[in-house]
Amino acid sequence: MNLETILGTVVADAIQSLYSLETPANQIQLQKTKKEFEGDLTVVIFPFVKAARKSPEQTGQEIGEYLQKNNPLISSFNVIKGFLNLCINKSYWLKTLAEIHTNKEFGIKTATDDSELMMIEYSSPNTNKPLHLGHVRNNLLGHSISEIQKANGWKVVKTNIVNDRGIHICKSMLAWKLFGNGETPESSGLKGDHLVGKYYVIFDKHFKAEIKELMEKGLTEEEAKKSAPLILQAQEMLLAWENNDPEVRHLWETMNAWVYAGFDVTYKKLGVDFDKIYYESETYLEGKGKVEEGLASGVFYRREDGSVWADLTGDGLDEKLLLRADGTSVYMTQDIGTAKLRYDDYPINKMVYVVGNEQNYHFQVLSILLDKVGFEWGKSLVHFSYGMVELPEGKMKSREGTVVDADDLMDEMIEGARETSQELGKLDNCTPEEIESIVRMVGLGALKYFILKVDPRKSMTFNPKESIDFNGNTGPFIQYTHARIKSVLRKAVEQGIDFSTITDTELAISEKESYLIQLITEFPTVVKLAGDEFSPALIANYIYELVKEYNQFYHDFTILKEENQKLKQFRLVLSETTASIIKTGMLLLGIDVPERM
């Protein structure tokens, strides 16, 4: 039972005894005491003033005196207007720390055979270009949310839907066929996804030139876009693909294989993975079948031109196209097909889509359609809608080749970590192998933390230089603190100091130390809230607060040089517990922390 629950009960008992007022314990308003006041937890007094028939200050004083007299948990109190600030007995914090120190799974709830299954979709790349900065945010959010939900006791299946068909894929294929001269990843030295992305840019360059030429001949821009030879050839290629043309299919399979090999390298470096990958080329036909079923049962209807629609006006939306007049599917149809395959494969209780906020309406519609075609989790699906990520220079465009490539970005972050670490002397006592491991850890940690500390629903600007700072709310600051604590613990072991437990729970510890313990006890609550709200930012900013408080403690108090052996033992236990929570919390963000720096 946590402290808030305990205090809620004892305060409710006090109210009953003093004023004969029945108040459920869970309705007692408790909050952390503000830093400028003395105390650990604060009781809001105003709801009891009427029953007490006294002023808020008098009521708070009366309740405080009752609690201090009748409960050894309360060491002292003070009243500020209508708020009763309670100071918890230091022995409580020491006993609590001792329990947490021995609990290696503190804050983590492991799934059981009876746990419900949550499927989380993220990444969703196109096979016509490499992953870029926008994908990085998507992948980091998806992976972190998966880890957080696991920590909340869900069974989690991480899944990816690869957009491997359509006109945009044919653009890369056509450009390679026309201008590639047989170039391959091996002959060019390029990663496969970079090579295919190169031809997507080449297509756009030639396509724009054709548009310009046609406009000079008197066509409007819209007419030129529709009649440019390249786009007509790409449309022919798409039709050939739909009709299983062997030559087009072979080229498609070859170029997609190059891309998948490239993606695998990027995913591994970024530290994300998937339990199951689905491909749009396999799901779109399933979607068409599911729509035909809905048509037969009267859920959908067919217009005179042969197209199939869903009428969602009764749900406060509009009518939604599901199959074009020529029978080809749209994205919505493909998502229905993907849902069917997933439902066939897994007993899904909750489905989460990690997709940018420009798709909010799409998922609002999808939720209703999935419910209409019989998926139990349709109405409760979660569209984890996140904001866009930009650089200080502004927006990126794939067609124009102005995106920030994920591989290049990671390499730059690692080199940035190397330069900054060397300048600050963080790597002076490390072996070459340790240096490579640390700079990779710090560079990628800086990238991940900077992105994940921001409320995911907000758009953000990623600043590489700012993210690599060893001070402030950054990954490197947290990583260095962990390494610093580990250094202290190693020295303690070398000196033969036993800090396996706290031997004296009546120690006179400081307010700063008891506050640090209080912060540690909040970890399970933060993990649960991060799961409920799908927000890695809550974990990130909690860890930063913990690290900031620990560094103040480290600055103000001696540890290894403390003469009181029991106090030294306590501070080592406090340090080790802090390091453990830093590591656990950062792993929920997909970030490793170094043992030494």
| CA-derived radius of gyration, the chain | 30
401 pLDDT higher than 60: no
Q: What is the pLDDT of residues 515-528, one digit of tens each?
A: 999 999 999 999 99
* pLDDT score of 424: 85
In this prediction, residues 355-383 reach a mean pLDDT of: 92
410 pLDDT higher than 50: yes
* pLDDT score of 397: 46
Q: In what order do the strands lie in the sheet with 382-386?
A: 276-279, 155-162, 117-121, 350-356, 382-386
Name the 3-class secondary structure at 36: coil
pLDDT band at 170 (very low <50, low <70, confident <90, very high): very high
pLDDT band at 402 (very low <50, low <70, confident <90, very high): low
The token pair that represents 586 in the structure block: 């950062």
Q: Which residues pair with 238 in a beta bridge?
A: none
pLDDT band at 425 (very low <50, low <70, confident <90, very high): confident
In this prediction, residues 362-391 reach a mean pLDDT of: 91
* pLDDT score of 1: 66
pTM value is 0.91
- Dist CA 230 CA 132 (whole Å): 26
In this prediction, residues 132-160 reach a mean pLDDT of: 97
400 pLDDT higher than 80: no
The token pair that represents 192 in the structure block: 């496969």
CA dist 36 to 68, 82, 500, 529, 582, Å?
A: 22, 16, 34, 26, 26
- Dist CA 26 CA 21 (whole Å): 15
Element (H, E) at 263: helix 246-270
395 pLDDT higher than 70: no
174 pLDDT higher than 70: yes
- The answer to whether 586 touches 478, Cβ cutoff 8 Å, is yes
* pLDDT score of 301: 94
Q: What is the pLDDT of residues 55-114, one digit of tens each?
A: 999 999 999 999 999 999 999 999 999 999 999 999 999 999 999 999 999 999 999 999
Return mean pLDDT, the chain. Answer: 93
Element (H, E) at 32: strand 30-32
145 pLDDT higher than 60: yes
In this prediction, residues 11-16 reach a mean pLDDT of: 94
* pLDDT score of 357: 93
Which of 2, 3, 12 lies closest to 63, judged by CA? Answer: 12
* pLDDT score of 398: 42
Structural domains of the chain in order of their starting residue, each with its CATH number: 3-88 (3.30.1360.70), 275-404 (3.40.50.620), 406-588 (1.10.730.10)
pLDDT cut 90: percent of the chain above it:
84
270 pLDDT higher than 50: yes
In this prediction, residues 260-279 reach a mean pLDDT of: 97
